[in-house]
Structure 1
Amino acid sequence: MNDSSANKSKPSLLRKLSAGLITGAADDDPSGIATYSQVGAAFGYATIWSLFLAMPLMIAIQAISARIGCATGKGLSSSMRKYYPRPWAYGLVFSVLVANVINLAADIGAMGAALKLLIGGPAVLYAAGFAIVSLLLQMYVPFSRYSPILKVLTLSLFAYVATVFVIHVPWGDVVKGIVVPKVRLNAKYAVAIVAVLGTTISPYLFFWQAAQEAEEIRDDDDRHSLKADPSKGPEQIERITVDTTIGMVFSNIVAIFIILTASVVLHAHGKTDIQSASDAAQALRPLAGRFAFGLFAAGIIGTGLLAVPVLAGSSAFAAAGALGYRSGLEYKPHEAKFFYGVLVFASLVGIALNFTPIDPIKALYWCAVINGVAAVPMMIMIMLLAMNKKVMGQFTLNTSLKVWGWIATGVMTAAAVVMFVTWGQ
């Protein structure tokens, strides 16, 4: 084969970016923006170090999740159901569903609130409209055509990078705050760190990325699971590594910029009590100007449109896999009734919560904490699956991923323990 044919057969970088990029970008959803804004406003630069810590850990656990999907051709809950006691799968999936519905409600509400800030009008109706459009797209547009839309929506995250460059940032203080953070030994700070880690390393992302790897195998007649076609192993593992690394680094850089914006504009001006992403956007207007406010608010809508299908979809993949039902966004609704039933149910409950006195936005911070705690048993299960030859065949984890995967699990465990130990202090 000559050089030109080899180059043609080698996938471009853009072709390699798929599930990992979308997963990483979806992590910076409106609920994540709210959490990062809250901790930035409350603690300034003192929590940014946790995102540098989370970055390699997030890359490792997401790459491992993707490998499980690619090696088995199945989602995480399907593999858990097949190889381990089913009650384990049911319990983990239930915790993910509860957290996802709260996240969905908050993201939907934040999108409506952001559009109201920009153009006025009824926030709740905007929220319902965004959710219904997203649901209909998932149900009636094949994911192979819908996925490029989600890739384009990842560009909305650059709004948070751009925001930093339209405000004055004391970079010397920022670097000092990151290198020598003012760590506080109290419950509030511990909860903030768990919330950041729980937002960054979140169970629904594990389910989504593994499911998308399996979905791509199902939808491409030329692709098979690595267990069925080991010859493609090196090529697919390289693709997963590139895709996941770029997606997670992008996600964490954006999160750092959001905390940085909240620190510089809000914390520095004594605005330390932020309840939502739209609160953060509104607080920016008098302090940083209309342009920064507009970028921040528009970014909430773009990231919400990206994250809502990921949250609803991961719920459906997790539930259908755990109970043994057919799942996949390429199927038509009548071909995967249970899967789409969960998708519809999660979306409608998310919409409904925005019409009740319950304020899902205020529940977000604690939802992130719940995710941080729930991630621990989920990560243990992922590591057990990925090291099991019955599950992975010859594609069990190498030493590097084993080490980083268990470090990630240990850090999440330690964060949860510290939070409970300092509770009430």
Structure 2
Amino acid sequence: MANLSKHPKRLNKVWRFFKKFGPGLVTGASDDDPSGIATYSQAGAQFGLATLWTALVTFPLMAAVQGMCARIGMVTSQGLTVTLKQHYSKPVLFIMLLFSFPAITLNIGADIQGMGAVAHMIVPAVPASVFCVVITGVLLFIIIRYPYRKIANILKWLCLSLLLYIIVPFSVDQDWPEVLRRTFVPVFYFNKEFISIIVALFGTTISPYLFFWQTTMEAEDNAQKGVVFVDKRMLDDMKTDVNLGMLLSNAVMFFIILTTGSVLFKGGIRQIDTVDQAARALQPLAGKFTYAIFATGVLGTGLLAIPVLAGSLSYMLAETFGWKAGLDKTFTQAKPFYMSIIVSLIVGLSMDFFGVSPIKALLLTAIAYGLTAPVMVAIIMHIGNNRKIMKEHTNSWFSNILGGITLVLMSMAAIAMIYYLFK
């Protein structure tokens, strides 16, 4: 009986621990959207385990930049767009919008198409286009109908779907010494294909829309809790939340590359363009269990990522043009905000009916993200070190070092991408 009485206490501890996590966990998990999964799958299929080391590199860089964004949101109690509007020239803000709006919309469209294709693969009797419409309708209903707190809780539980990808590699035979070697001993090939996939991996993991979402969600989360003063304990909790979210994001990236690298690459399948192709290719080589887990994870991550993509875009527009905004508000209280969410999802959905391929959408998205990311990282670092904005909560020297490395690598990636586009 004594042992039984301890179980509720243990469950309560686990629940309290899980409740600590919020914007950071959701942001990190949403980075592994269906289009991101397609990129990781292609990296593994094309180069085997050669890109495993990138997960170790991107984790601290993502954590540093997203940590800066989270701290900006907590300290200023406003979104990144508002801070840009108040402290920087208008051209900077409008250039960010000019690149971000089409990139995020294309990303939404690619994710909807990916989810529809996977759902059709599971239930072949229903066309993929029908699933795309249903998925879009369900997401719009949830976003408009439920307040922020409920949406945040739904998103947190959807993060668990990412754990499916951590299970998959253990269902097939692995050469673990080789896995360790490829993880900790980087390899690099100086050819167009390898550099392109490295650029794609960086662009997929360190995406500008996440900067805006993280900042706004931290500000909104504090507003919901009635926070008026940010103390060290709150910043420490935020750091734990962000670090866990980024760790989960990069762990999923690592295990998807591991799965596709050890199954598809060895099986002679070197080209993966969509997530449903990856799932289909896994079935004959790794069995129905691996195939089912991979496909189910795509649907969970899509449901998690699309509200983040649409929400980040709507917050950016609302903060730019002074609209009332907030997922805690009703539709009638913030019509322009919710209308921009509706438009972004419908435009994304329409890509399927106008014959825009998800691969083309992903290519255009990567170009836009690749060009804006270095500029945004530089601006975020500048804000994070500005005492007028951040007061005593400016960046630490360690954050600045990691931010500087991120800026250099993302700039090099952008230059490489432009070089190979016009070569």
Using the size of structure 2 for normalisation, the TM-score is: 0.93
Where does 1:392-411 land on structure 2 (aligned, <5 Å)? 392-411=390-409
Which of residues 118, 121, 129 in structure 2 aligns to 1:117?
Answer: 121
Matched, 1:256 2:260: no
CA distance in 1, matches of 2:145, 2:138: 11
Which of residues 279, 284, 287 in structure 2 aligns to 1:286?
Answer: 284
Which of residues 77, 80, 92 in structure 2 aligns to 1:73?
Answer: 77
Aligned position for 2:141:
136
- Say whether the 8 Å CA contact 1:187–1:419 is kept in structure 2: no
Deviation sequence 1:235-259 (CA, Å, 0-9, x none):
2210111000011001100110001
Unaligned runs of 5+ in 2: 1-11
Amino acid across the alignment from 1:173: E
CA distance in 1, matches of 2:299, 2:410: 30
- Say whether the 8 Å CA contact 2:158–2:300 is kept in structure 1: yes
- Say whether the 8 Å CA contact 2:367–2:417 is kept in structure 1: no
Deviates more, 1:167-176 or 1:341-350: 167-176
- Say whether the 8 Å CA contact 1:142–1:331 is kept in structure 2: yes
The secondary structure found in structure 2 opposite 1:93 is: helix
Matched, 1:150 2:155: yes
Aligned position for 1:205:
210
The secondary structure found in structure 2 opposite 1:274 is: coil
Amino acid across the alignment from 1:306: L
Deviation sequence 1:128-166 (CA, Å, 0-9, x none):
111111112111200111211111101111111111111
Aligned position for 1:323:
321
CA distance in 1, matches of 2:259, 2:341: 34
Aligned position for 1:364:
362
Deviates more, 1:235-244 or 1:410-419: 410-419
CA distance in 1, matches of 2:329, 2:421: 47
Aligned position for 1:95:
99
Which of residues 93, 115, 131 in structure 2 aligns to 1:126?
Answer: 131
Which of residues 164, 186, 192 in structure 1 aligns to 2:191?
Answer: 186
- Say whether the 8 Å CA contact 1:55–1:252 is kept in structure 2: yes
Aligned position for 2:28:
24
The secondary structure found in structure 1 opposite 2:298 is: helix
The secondary structure found in structure 2 opposite 1:330 is: coil
Deviation of the 1:12 alpha carbon: 4.2
CA distance in 1, matches of 2:113, 2:345: 12
Matched, 1:165 2:163: no
Query: Percent same amino acid at aligned positions?
Result: 38
What RMSD, in angstroms, separates the aligned Cα atoms of the two structures?
Answer: 1.7
Matched, 1:83 2:87: yes
Deviation of the 1:423 alpha carbon: 5.5
CA distance in 1, matches of 2:361, 2:269: 20
CA distance in 1, matches of 2:58, 2:199: 11
- Say whether the 8 Å CA contact 1:321–1:327 is kept in structure 2: yes
The secondary structure found in structure 1 opposite 2:74 is: helix
Amino acid across the alignment from 2:198: I
Deviation sequence 1:56-110 (CA, Å, 0-9, x none):
0000000000011101111101110111001211111221111111110111111
Deviation of the 1:422 alpha carbon: 5.4
CA distance in 2, matches of 1:43, 1:410: 25
Deviation sequence 1:280-312 (CA, Å, 0-9, x none):
001101111111111000100010000010010
CA distance in 1, matches of 2:290, 2:46: 20
CA distance in 1, matches of 2:377, 2:324: 24
Where does 1:205-354 land on structure 2 (aligned, <5 Å)? 205-221=210-226, 223-224=227-228, 229=229, 232-354=230-352
Aligned position for 1:42:
46
Deviation of the 1:186 alpha carbon: 1.4
Aligned position for 1:55:
59
Deviation of the 1:18 alpha carbon: 0.4
The secondary structure found in structure 1 opposite 2:323 is: coil
Aligned position for 2:413:
415
Amino acid across the alignment from 2:373: A
Unaligned runs of 5+ in 1: 1-7
CA distance in 2, matches of 1:181, 1:117: 36
Deviation of the 1:406 alpha carbon: 1.8
CA distance in 2, matches of 1:125, 1:361: 20
Amino acid across the alignment from 2:284: P
Q: 1:127 to 1:166 in 2, by over 3 A?
A: same
CA distance in 2, matches of 1:413, 1:214: 29
